[in-house]
Amino acid sequence: MLRWIPRLLIGIAVVHVAVGLLLPNTWDEIAREGFVNTVQFGDHQRGLNLWFMITGLSWLGWGLLAAWVVRETGRLPASLGWSLIGISVPMCLIEPITGGWLVLALGAVALRASRQVTCGA
């Protein structure tokens, strides 16, 4: 189970980034405008797409780091589970129809898995 938590987080991140890239026209427009200073205050669609992408890339980093930690130590840090829970609870409360429930479930499973140790780490 320990090795699956990082893989699932990486999978969620990849889907998040893929969806972020497929959102209509935003990234094409940002690229055409040269990326720098292309998301202005009040441009909600571009802001949403930007933060959607940043979130996915952050989860990718967490997933890769967690995979490395499990590989090197045979343990998953409880802080990963607590962080995922801490991010997802407000997300689920503020916007109940969200993928945050998947992140909440993964955080709970990660927290439980943090009590396990793999053999041959």
| 119 domain-assigned | no
Q: Is the pLDDT of residue 118 over 80?
A: no
Domain with 93 in it: 4-113
| 70 domain-assigned | yes
The total number of structural domains in the chain stands at 1
Question: Span 86-98, mean pLDDT?
Answer: 95
pLDDT-derived band of residue 116, with 50, 70 and 90 as boundaries?
A: confident
Determine the pLDDT at residue 36. 92
| 118 domain-assigned | no
Per-residue pLDDT tens digits for 41-64: 988 888 888 888 899 999 999 999
| 30 domain-assigned | yes
pTM score, whole prediction: 0.84
| 41 domain-assigned | yes
Determine the pLDDT at residue 119. 59
| 108 domain-assigned | yes
**Which H, E and C letters describe the chain, residue by residue?**
CCCHHHHHHHHHHHHHHHHHHHCCCHHHHHHHCCCCCCCCCCCHHHHHHHHHHHHHHHHHHHHHHHHHHHHHHCCCCHHHHHHHHHHHHHHHHHCCCCCHHHHHHHHHHHHHHCCCCCCCC
